Structure 1
Amino acid sequence: MIGLELRQLEYFVAVVEERNFTRAAARLHVVQSAVSAGLKTLERQLQAELVHRTSREVSLTEAGRALLPRARDTLAAARAAIDAVDEVRGGIQGEVRVGVMASLPDIDLPAALGRMHADHPRVRVRLSHRPGGSRELADDLAAGRLDLALLSEPGPAGHRLRLTPLVSVGMHLVMAPTHPLAGRGAATLAELADDVFVDFPIGYGIRSIVDRAFTAAGRSRYVSIEVTNAETAMAYVRHGLGVAILPDAYVHPGPTLRITGPGSDDLTWSLSLATAKNRHPGAATDALVALIEETAQQRTRHAGRKGAME
């Protein structure tokens, strides 16, 4: 790695993650020609082509796949070194890449980010969603494309993450007032096997939890409508187009049932703050993690006091 510049590695990682030179340049706030020239210089120094270039996107070569994790590790080590000096000088700077789900019940993320901006104005926070839900967030976090994420069910990448639980709630069945079960207080998953369901796409935490519960109950189900947020799910349910099993934090007033019997023990939804086990988060990420945890604790205490008063 002697003779390589950190900036060249930064260009390489950005091009790979954005899969496009124009988007990489915009992300790094430089002109596209600088990114292209920097990557060509890196390839010349390594005497290997790192990416396949097409008119629409780029993809990794075998040499690029070998370099990518080491490039990320090198950049992370450089950021940690800068963080150490900044802490001595009394300030934190840099960038934190945060991945979040479409909705975050009981977490006032804007408040946490507002405090972060006030306390550490030199830190840039890049906030983004993932169409693949919690599993895609977990994959991107484990691969180094994110610094932290707020997610529910991480899936196969979970063992590579450090998870801090923030919220944990039960799940209930919601249905239209005209549904045959609407007047009851509870139902089993077996009784719901013939119903049509409204649910989230595969990869989303809620979908994973409900699928796992039906498997534990030895039953299958039919998902007719897939949505990416709970409000849309509730709208379809209200019009009688299906039933849904949702976390209490998402459920609006209306008919709800407890789920009992086999599989019901699996129906608990949790929201966690996640970082990768194999990388040091860095001072800026640590500071934001602390603020998000504090915000979550404040909301929990407020909800507890409100419940006690009621």
Structure 2
Amino acid sequence: MELRHLQHFVAVAEDQHFTRAAERLMVSQSGLSSSIRALERELQAPLFVRTTRRVTLTAAGRALLGEAERILAQVRSAHDAVAAVQGVLRGSLTLGAEQCIAGVHVATLLAAFRRRHPDVEICLRQAGSGALAEEVAAGRLDLAFAVRTQADTDQLRSVPLTSEPMTVLCHPTHRLATAAVLTPEELGGEDFVDFHPDWGPRLTTDAAFAAAGVHRTVTLEVNDVHSLLELVQEGLGIAVVPRHFSVKREAGGLTALPFKGVMEASYETVAMLPPVDATSPAARALMVLLDAPDERV
């Protein structure tokens, strides 16, 4: 099994189209098709269902995809490790992050990394914490800054960044605005503004309400912090968010109240990484900068 066969297979799986994958890889479509056929012959199983519009993975293809991505990620790490021994950090750093994650200022950190390692290509993706955990475990991301969603596994480890309580945000004229502290029971009948179910703040809040046995209704679902704050400012709902959201400039004028459930609603942010021996030199260098703020200047 050749590496180029796996590279070609992953590209077709991602694009779901032979022509687009061939263009991205800068190979001929006939050469790409031949490569996939060779891989299928070796594995003695069809990897794609081909139609005139697109291709989709077979069961065998889905089984191969995760392994192929991990193999290719390890090969990239091997190349980067050899370059690092030679005194040059190069290659790529593929990073994932949730929006406005606590415990790290991603833009400042990446700017410092770029100054120290200009030969490393940086790629940043934003997504929910659950999706980011899957991407790191599969080898598609070198690391991610997100909310802890699971215990460590053989493919994923978490380095704690910070932990903070959750806070209720509401309009100053809301009937709950004068409360000293709020519980899930007191909020059960309210309309909520919240993020998509895969996002860290939503996961934390959902867990707190589930633990209390209280149903809540998310009437307005958003995918960015600014929209959430604007909707709460217009009195269209309340939000349960990490405490640092309440000190943002855009949250000016909103009332922030402590939130207390039957379980502690702790918003714990982490750096998600592969196992130590699979962590790329670029990811290790970024973590060094994260742990040493004085090195970022």
The TM-score, its normalising length taken from structure 2, stands at 0.84
Instruction: Give the number of equivalent residue pairs.
Output: 289
Structure 2 gaps of 5+ residues are none
Alignment of 1:59-74 (within 5 A): 59-74=56-71
3-state SS in 2 of match to 1:187: coil
Q: Which residue of 2 aligns with 1:281?
A: 279
Alignment of 1:188-207 (within 5 A): 188-207=183-202
Q: How many angstroms does 1:271 deviate by?
A: 1.8
3-state SS in 2 of match to 1:186: coil
3-state SS in 1 of match to 2:259: strand
Percent of residue pairs identical: 38
| Counterpart AA for 2:270 | S
Partner residue of 1:267 out of 249, 265, 268: 265
| Contact map agreement 1:138 1:158 (CA 8 A) in 2 | no
Give the CA RMSD over aligned residues: 2.8
Q: How many angstroms does 1:18 deviate by?
A: 4.1
3-state SS in 2 of match to 1:266: coil
Alignment of 1:143-292 (within 5 A): 143-155=138-150, 159=153, 160-251=155-246, 252-253=251-252, 254-260=254-260, 262-263=261-262, 265-277=263-275, 280-292=278-290
Offset from partner CA, 1:216-255 (integer Å, 9 cap, x none): 2222211111111222111111111111111111122321
Q: Which residue of 2 aligns with 1:302?
A: none
- Structure 1, 215-224 or 95-104: larger mean CA deviation: 95-104
Describe the shift of the 1:43–1:164 C-alpha distance in structure 2 as closer, same or farther (beyond 3 A).
same
| Contact map agreement 1:134 1:205 (CA 8 A) in 2 | yes
Describe the shift of the 1:66–1:237 C-alpha distance in structure 2 as closer, same or farther (beyond 3 A).
closer
| Contact map agreement 2:73 2:139 (CA 8 A) in 1 | no
Partner residue of 1:85 out of 82, 89, 96: 82
| Contact map agreement 2:168 2:258 (CA 8 A) in 1 | yes
| Counterpart AA for 2:238 | V
Q: Which residue of 2 aligns with 1:307?
A: none
| Contact map agreement 1:17 1:145 (CA 8 A) in 2 | no
| Counterpart AA for 2:68 | A
Q: How many angstroms does 1:72 deviate by?
A: 3.1
| Contact map agreement 1:153 1:208 (CA 8 A) in 2 | no
3-state SS in 2 of match to 1:49: coil
Offset from partner CA, 1:68-103 (integer Å, 9 cap, x none): 344334323433432332123211222232222233
Structure 1 gaps of 5+ residues are 300-310
Q: Which residue of 2 aligns with 1:121?
A: 118
Offset from partner CA, 1:51-74 (integer Å, 9 cap, x none): 223455432223323433443343
Aligned equivalents of 1:210, 1:115: Cα separation in 2: 33
Aligned equivalents of 1:66, 1:216: Cα separation in 2: 36
Aligned equivalents of 2:233, 2:17: Cα separation in 1: 42
Q: Which residue of 2 aligns with 1:9?
A: 6
